[in-house]
Structure 1
Amino acid sequence: MTTIKITSGSFTFLAEAHPDAPNTLGAFLKLLPYRQKFIHVRWSGEGCWVPLGDYQLNEGGKPVGFENHTSHPSVGDILFYPGGYSETEIIMAYGPCNFSSKLGQLAGNHFLTITQGRENLRALGLKTLWEGAQDVLFELA
């Protein structure tokens, strides 16, 4: 099982790869180490997201489509939305979350689940809400 280390400020998390999203995971692994910024979600509830505009994640020369997708991530679930109705993004739930955009409900590929450090997810989410964008680093553990 592939383990990803996620660092944001003073918070460190370990996430396990979800086997039902092999194309998303394969393409994402090629980006590592991956540096971005988390911002707080606008419509989805309690989550942080990485807006990626019109970025296209590719695996095997083809754009990643939908696989293992959901609109209701659990705490610690990380989804990749390949774009279409809204911009491409990564979203991480730290509390109740209904993945949505200004155009309505979305579904993203569940490709990572935080297994260690979950007790700090709410603190990171609230820090992002009240203090603004937070640097985030995804790398192999």
Structure 2
Amino acid sequence: METTLKKIIVQGGPFQFVGRLEEEKAPRTCQRFLEMLPFKSKVIHSRWSGEAVWIPLGDFDTGLDFENHTSHASRGDILLYPGGFSETEFLFVYGSSSFASKMGQLAGNHFFTLTEGHEHLAAFGKLVLWEGAQDIVFSLADA
């Protein structure tokens, strides 16, 4: 399956981002994510992870283990915590971040990296911080 040529569009509140899947480093996570598209939810500001927003998924069973996991993602990285210690969640990093929960340090599967829209990351994060939950949609770009 050749998904590396496919673009993923992220509409977060009024901002649009474009990104690529990290298929070589996290193939199972990327495949599972593609099965979820289009994915629509609300994004809220992180409580323990610094400059990041997150999408809580509760006890959703991804069927995944750790792959390409990190606690220290970069601006524009999106992680999937597959569940276990804490609830399943996506973490969308917009600045300095160290992935954590009330249970302590976490590591999530880095499976997605933004390639366009970095200039809107800080504004997006501040919007979620000061104005509350925002709609977020991940979808495959039209060919």
Q: TM class, shorter-chain normalised?
A: over 0.9
Q: Say yes or no: does 1:138 pair with 2:142.
A: no
| Residue identity opposite 1:81 in structure 2 | Y
Partner of residue 17, structure 1: 21
| Mapping 1:1-141, distance limit 5 Å | 1=4, 2-19=6-23, 20-57=25-62, 63-141=63-141
- TM-score normalized by structure 2? 0.93
| SS of aligned partner of 2:41 | strand
| Residue identity opposite 1:114 in structure 2 | L
| Residue identity opposite 2:34 in structure 1 | L
1:25-76 CA distance string (max 9 Å, x none): 101101111101110000000000000000011xxxxx11100000000000
- Point out where structure 2 has 5 or more consecutive residues left out of the alignment: none
Partner Cα distance (1:86, 1:33) in 2: 25
- TM-score normalized by structure 1? 0.95
Partner Cα distance (1:114, 1:128) in 2: 18
How well do the aligned residues superpose, as a CA RMSD in angstroms?
A: 0.7
| SS of aligned partner of 2:31 | helix
